[in-house]
Structure 1
């Protein structure tokens, strides 16, 4: 009812207002100012026409953003050719954005996002703080520009794959403003606004932001999204326009849901896939086990609260309803000064300080209740001493719903469902600061009939990162109103025997933890010469960047050598009693010896590009870029070291990544036509990667039990293999628009991308552990390594084809524009190893909507995303022999597309 009422109010307001307004022309309601004659500000040192760029540049305009109606930065970036974002399936933030086939686990590793040319935070993929927690497009965002290759790696830090720049609105000599009310059928209410104008002859201002509340597209039973941002700027321009100073402030106080994988099963009608015979998942063969793939999730109000542990044994309360929770204050000052002798100084300084909370729940593959109960019963039979004696009368372990247990008499408690969700509650808290400065000195001069703009730049960033995290293990049923499940040892009368196996649904309140406190400083020197020849028909860019990174850090990691599980049984609890619980006996918080390190890295990259105007309407360009990415937190903090399994020696290889990009293309702009087409080739070498942290199956754990046995004993030694990947990719990107003169009001625009990325890997690794049933009793009893390699494989979750077609039609006699979007993604591999090869299905998603001008100053919009309820997964597990139910069905988890959603908005311009 909540959702329907808001839609009724919005639509009624629009219709009532329109009854008193004469029909008017709306031919430019979806106007395109993103044409090739558009001035760009990204990848250049002075504003340049897009048509004359020597590199790949794509733009999204304010009008584009209106029609695309994205629910976050990742959805928006999906409209840039060469970008393969996993379309907002994680929610409004903390999504994955992939570019041109580069292999990565997720996040924004190779795609730094900038605001007005500067990063808000230096590292684009910090654990628990992806770049998009800072990037929240609103009415203050007037354009988005993306540079791939070319001078991006010279002018910007970490821009190995691409750099995306969000351009902020500033004021003019005319007062303007807008207010937008938006409602959606997921309990979504959002308010956007901006005002801008003059203060006096030399000063202008712009101020705006948004505030939004919503239950969530996957409703957890509480308000999952709430908060927003405010930002503003004041610009001083001197009387002679030679000096400009801009001061900006940006405050973020937000909270958003984080959606993760959902359990599923697939009927077993064939063996798991191989490289020669992949397992192709069909949406019709996937069973959801109780949660709708389109709008459901395992998380609920009851399964949102957990008691975890700090390293000192004190309780750490996790409230998943807090979601992704950035709280940042950002201040920026920019100065541009033109001197009479053709010198220009541009200096920009930005300060960022605050914190990000990461409160979420991941999911491991589901488990049958009987198997879980059997495994836990075998576990308690292996205990000795006081704990072992306390279970002497136990005949079984049983799983009950937590909310039906009232004491030690469990005979009336409700047994849990047959299939249970294995939940991984995650607490992450980051405190971060960043101070960035970019100073450029440019000179325009002519030499031998060549016009040059020579720019020398200095870039520095000093940033800190302090993180604490805990990953836990818990159980619930699989339902959109999920309930916690607790496990107890019982006697023949269903009376509790000994300590509970779990408490509050948690069997391990800390599987893994990380503590880190780091201070980093990076400095770069760069030079870029823009040369104009042949009366301006030939443009050349040549430049280079040298950058160094110094890291001072201390880390504690619960899997570092020497760490052991902690016993946090309270002093007032009798060990072995029914008031005791096993869940606090084996707690892997980061309590190991702190590791102090000072590390330094450096690299050099360069670029050469040219653009030649063939005719007034056709240009061609070619660019080469040899660029790099220095290590990030994932590499020298979160990843930890690789360990030689035989000697225990710590090993760390080269963490600097390098890429060579070759690209050439044509741009054509004619009456009613625009077309950009390019071909690219990439040669990429990744850092040394680390395999999964695994039990050493050749060793023994507690009580001298083999680590190859099921269940695994506690305190098995850990091993971790290392390897290095490379990538070669060839691709074609075509983007264009067409407005035929034979049907005024019609516009077709969009893009087609084809790519063929292929990985290399220097050695196979132990990537996981498989449990198998060796004696046919339906209970897994042996653990073995899964050996895999990504050599000659397409990187995971990367499509070969992406087609994005956007038609629109503006009526001439009524102020109405209809628009649509058809997005096609070809099939993708779930993983890029050579075992258990699983293919996620291709899909086509259709979005539609309309814009209706109620008056010159008022516009109503209605938008439907995923009209056709497309089915597919964007990430998740592979189909494997080791992940099966007792009836043979495969089990796993995956993150499905969001289902059909609708929203409406009313915008007032003044």
Structure 2
């Protein structure tokens, strides 16, 4: 029904991004003064921005549209101090803050929240990064981002910061429905939301989206399809409120993994360029001829998965939020959520890319021949491999097929605050208890394929025969295992992380001074089991199995990875103490100075289960320190706001412990980092014109490494000296226009400080006009100048063949939308 409606509107309705714009306001940008912006994230209780001794930024729903996001992670790039590598599609982004490392993937030291509770308790679960299960749409009222400071003590496992998406609640009647499509890429989308007060002091809000299309890169099929719906209902009572809310997310989004790019020049001064037949702007290994993936499931039974499912989050959650003020200075708040989470992650990772003859020889020996295995030319011999697709290349692909069987999360945050008049000042005392249980139940079902290098959504798999004509592959499959990763990684987890965290805080204000201090104790219990040959106690993990059931054992079936019947226990406990103390001095009403010191930590989750930290026989910790990584931060800065001008500056100094495992390189890490820098954020408002921006300078260094001492003193990988953003906007009467600049200086691809990733500047633009009182038409362009930007690379130096596997931002995409305000 939705598809038919969109098709019918095809000539009139044009495009949308990840979130729709608010209706055009006739009185200029809706930007509140800082003494009116109330912050609720990672604090004992709500406070205005200028009075807090933490660095915090907010983005309103109206501001989000100007960013022209194609994913939630692209919104996060507009937050000062936040490094969001938003090149993975609508999830799987690597996100860090203030020089804290991205040693593997995900958001290890940063927590993503919805309405004050974590999306997942750990932001870097392998193949289940928290942003995969998060979508930004018309339900969002605003985004708050706290960096450092009290994030260590008001949330678990978030010493770097907290980014919180806060939902609309229907306090004001209204809503909208928006239809859109891409102009130069295939995507159709409908968004809607509506909320209103109801009789009897009730309010409600409901909203969501549905979309379908190929997406911004050439996948050859509808790679993005699905949507979500969220709803809440609130009962206002004499001394507070009680709110119930629910969410249903069922979405499929293609996962963009590293792809081949030609690199010439020197490691320190490289030049990146697209390969013939494979564009860095819109190319991907995804293909209409590479959908069905035959493998063994967690019970070693043959199954066929759809690689086209990409990142498939399935989330069903219900929650409760309540706030009571019974009198005598007391405030009691309660937040509870249960989320049933499952899905899968499927993507194509190039373990190696080389000339067709070199790949054929490496797998089939001298005299090997190649032929198409899938697609319209299946069975046709490739007589001239050097001319294949104009690049003469083949790729050894590993299918990252991961079943996310169970990521259920239950969380409860209960706190009570008492306000007292004391010594001519105001004292607030807070005590609370956070309880959560996070399950991680996944199966890694990797296999190995050989593919042509073609980025238009039509790539075919390739079969190889040795010099005697004997098949080395079968229908493009080289092994039913991760043969290109030394047959690692047939893994299964079923582990539960239970956390209890009591916390306390005090806030004392006297005259112009405000002191804030907080303390938290996290106690964790880790129980469950894991299976996999990587543990070293169950044999090689390979067997000969007739996977396709045709009665014979082919060459790839001789390399079939299986999960051992014997599972190893996981059974250990951990605990850590976090604390934070800050001081604010209000020089005058529009100027405040602050300083803060914090000690926080992050408990490691699934990434240490197959490493040396956990005993595979007992399930206990071999190295107790491996369970927790400590982060220490010093901050000092100022906040100024007066007559439409805002300026905020923070100096930060951070030391970080890191123990981790990276799936693609099979490396374990045990090191420490140091980072310091300056974070500046500013805003200007004059009538209908508004300007916001920020720049962060960071000097980061690896200061110790237990496993790779040679990297000590180097700059951590992908850490740029400068990241910056700027967003000018103008509104007047019936139209609004805005632009968004995102930039970064160069960085190193890996920790050896070899190959450089060039800096880049991306410009996004947005225009909206209102021809009728309740109708708005908008046009948005993401990456207006079609710049090439690379967020990561697998190769530490330029390979001999000059082909680097890198992940790039999307090229230019143009979209438009028509919106009807209800």
| TM-score, reference length from structure 1 | 0.82
Q: Following TM superposition, by how much is the alpha carbon of 1:152 offset from its aligned partner in structure 2, in angstroms?
A: 1.2
1:329 paired with 2:303, answer no
Alignment size in residue pairs: 791
**Whole-angstrom CA distance in 2 between matches of 1:721 and 1:214:** 36
* 1:554 and 2:529 are equivalent in the alignment: yes
Residue 327 of structure 2 aligns to a residue in which SS? coil
Distance in 1 between residues matched to 2:434 and 2:270, nearest whole Å: 48
CA offsets per residue over residues 850-869 of structure 1, 9 Å max, x none?
12122332222111111111
Give, in whole Å, the separation in 2 of the partners of 1:473 and 1:207. 44
Question: Where do residues 388-787 of structure 1 align in structure 2 (5 Å cutoff)?
Answer: 396-403=367-374, 417=388, 418-430=392-404, 431-479=406-454, 480=456, 481-491=458-468, 496-497=469-470, 500-511=471-482, 512-534=489-511, 537-561=512-536, 562-570=538-546, 580-591=553-564, 593-635=566-608, 637=609, 639=611, 641=613, 653-687=625-659, 689=660, 723-740=669-686, 744-765=687-708
In the aligned structure 2, how far is the partner of 1:308 from the partner of 1:343?
A: 58
Per-residue deviation, 1:74: 0.6
User: For the residues of structure 2 that align with 1:124 and 1:574, how far apart are their CA atoms?
Assistant: 42
Tell me: CA distance 1:166–1:318, structure 2 relative to 1, closer, same or farther (3 Å): same
Deviation at 1:60, TM superposition (A): 0.7
Gaps of 5+ in 1: 14-23, 274-278, 379-394, 695-719, 766-787
Q: CA deviation at 1:34?
A: 6.9
1:281 corresponds to which residue? 270
Rounded Cα–Cα distance in structure 1 between residues aligned with 2:439 and 2:380: 54
Higher relative contact order (Cα pairs below 8 Å, separated by 6+ residues): 2
C-alpha displacement of 1:35: 4.1
1:797 to 701, 718, 738: 718
The answer (yes or no) to whether the contact 1:7–1:904 under 8 Å persists in 2 is: no
Aligned to 1:365: 352
Post-superposition shift, 1:764? 4.7
Shift of 1:643: 10
Cα distance in 2, alignment partners of residues 897 and 833 from structure 1: 24
CA distance in 1, matches of 2:547, 2:374: 27
TM-aligned CA deviation for residue 487 of structure 1: 1.0
Q: Residues 130-529 of structure 1 correspond to what in structure 2 (within 5 A)? A: 130-172=129-171, 174-185=172-183, 186-238=185-237, 240=238, 242-267=239-264, 273=267, 279-283=268-272, 286-310=273-297, 313-378=300-365, 396-403=367-374, 417=388, 418-430=392-404, 431-479=406-454, 480=456, 481-491=458-468, 496-497=469-470, 500-511=471-482, 512-529=489-506
Sort the Cα spacing of 1:127 and 1:376 in 2 relative to 1 into closer, same or farther, 3 A.
closer
| CA offset digits 1:818-872 (Å, max 9, x no partner) | 21122221001100125xx010111111111212122332222111111111112
Name 2:729's counterpart in structure 1: 808
**CA offset at residue 101 of structure 1?**
1.2
CA apart distance, 1:248:
0.6
Where does residue 110 of structure 1 map in the other structure? 109
Point out the structure with max Rg over C-alpha: 1
Matched-pair contact (CA < 8 Å) for 1:307–1:316:
yes
CA distance in structure 1 between the partners assigned to 2:323 and 2:807 by the alignment: 46
Give the Cα separation in 2 of the matches to 1:533 and 1:316. 67
In the alignment, which residue of structure 1 is the partner of 2:19? none
Q: 1:236 to 1:411 in 2, by over 3 A?
A: closer
2: CA distance between counterparts of 1:721 and 1:207? Answer: 45
Name the SS for the 1:136 alignment partner: coil
Map 1:117-136 → 2, pairs under 5 A: 117-136=116-135
Are the counterparts in 2 of residues 79 and 804 from structure 1 also a CA contact under 8 Å?
Answer: yes
Instruction: Name the CA distance, whole Å, in 2 between partners of 1:618 and 1:128.
Output: 44
Counterpart secondary structure, 1:878:
coil
For the residue of structure 1 that corresponds to 2:99, the secondary structure is: coil
User: Cα offset for 1:317?
Assistant: 1.3
Note closer, same or farther for the CA distance 1:570–1:138 as it changes in structure 2 (3 Å cut).
closer
Matched, 1:896 2:808: yes
The separation in 1 between residues aligned to 2:331 and 2:667, in whole angstroms, is 51
* CA-CA distance at 1:464 after TM superposition: 1.8
Alignment gaps of 5+ in structure 2: 17-22, 483-488
**Aligned counterparts of 1:129 and 1:658: Cα–Cα separation in 2:** 23
What RMSD, in angstroms, separates the aligned Cα atoms of the two structures?
A: 2.9
Contact 2:364/2:465, CA 8 A, preserved across alignment: no
Instruction: Work out the CA distance in 1 between the residues paired with 2:453 and 2:735.
Output: 45
Contact 1:142 1:167 in 2 (8 A): yes
From the superposition, tell whether residues 692 and 260 of structure 1 become closer, same or farther in structure 2 (CA, over 3 Å). Answer: closer
Q: Equivalents in 1 of 2:376, 2:556: separation in Å? A: 17
Q: Is this contact kept in 2: 1:763–1:789, CA < 8 A?
A: no
Deviations 1:650-693 (A, max 9, x none): 77753311111111111111113111111111122223x45889
Query: Structure 2 length normalisation: TM-score?
Result: 0.91
CA distance 1:655–1:790, shift in 2 (3 Å): farther
More strand by share: 2
